[in-house]
Amino acid sequence: MIGLDAPADVQTCSRAGCRAHATHRIDWRNPRIHAEDRRKTWLACDEHVGFLRDFLAARDFPLEVSPLEDAPPPEDAPQPDDDTTAEAR
């Protein structure tokens, strides 16, 4: 998932309100509505990977967390401790 207001080449965290550069991907599915081969993907920054993983695990959704194979973040990309991500906390 790529943030709708971010340039197409910048992958941002899927946590609501966070615009930090994503460093992890979380592949998951809801077994009650998704077939075995259907997967959804969320992206996560270092700060929110645990939160998003725990959110899905609490619902017993099968999931897999892996590093996001991606170019390094652009120099002007917000980082998790920037004020621009404070509204998500």
Q: What is the pLDDT of residues 9-27, one digit of tens each?
A: 679 999 999 999 999 999 9
Give the tens place of pLDDT for each residue, 37-89.
999 999 999 999 999 999 999 999 999 999 988 545 545 555 556 554 444 43
At residue 2 the predicted structure's pLDDT band, cuts being 50, 70 and 90, is very low
pTM over 0.75: no
- Residue 69 has a pLDDT of 80
Cβ neighbours of residue 29 closer than 8 Å, sequence gap 6 or more? 38, 39, 40, 61, 62, 63
